[in-house]
Chains A and B, each alone.
Chain A
Amino acid sequence: KNEVEQSPQNLTAQEGEFITINCSYSVGISALHWLQQHPGGGIVSLFMLSSGKKKHGRLIATINIQEKHSSLHITASHPRDSAVYICAVDRGSTLGRLYFGRGTQLTVWP
């Protein structure tokens, strides 16, 4: 069983919809990362968080340490948000090694 599970695996939305992607993990962590992988393959770090909530533009990431769960929200989704969103955890004891979820493929239609 993977240490990091994401849902849904695939997500299709209409432009303007509110999007939620979920990430659950089964190990102790020092931080959780949300990454975006573009259709061309490049990877961008969106958030790193260890508690609470962070916001950047239309993106919001939350984490509940007690429940070992994080969510990534996209408000007013746009076709350019279409990408794979990846959750990854840093277990702290493993010196920065990240454990990745399988990713959520998001497609936003105009």
Chain B
Amino acid sequence: AQTVTQSQPEMSVQEAETVTLSCTYDTSESDYYLFWYKQPPSRQMILVIRQEAYKQQNATENRFSVNFQKAAKSFSLKISDSQLGDAAMYFCAYPDRDDKIIFGKGTRLHILP
């Protein structure tokens, strides 16, 4: 079965510091998308960043960037200059061969003032 693994259930980072959330996945596809979604206490999931597997260049969105290693099937999210508003659950996700989006179990990120 295709899976997404987030090995860190919880993490904490000092405000203004940098934190990396890890994600590994398992797929036999060669071309696919990978996503990081954020779920704040309001419960509404928001897309943070998207990576296309055929692109070697890592995606970047302002303070958010990814380290995509296709051969290792690894897709980590780096948050620079962490802010209090970054506190949330973060989910790694990708579409399986049937285009169903599979989510990891999530990493709860705490920002320490």
**Do chains A and B stick together as partners?**
no
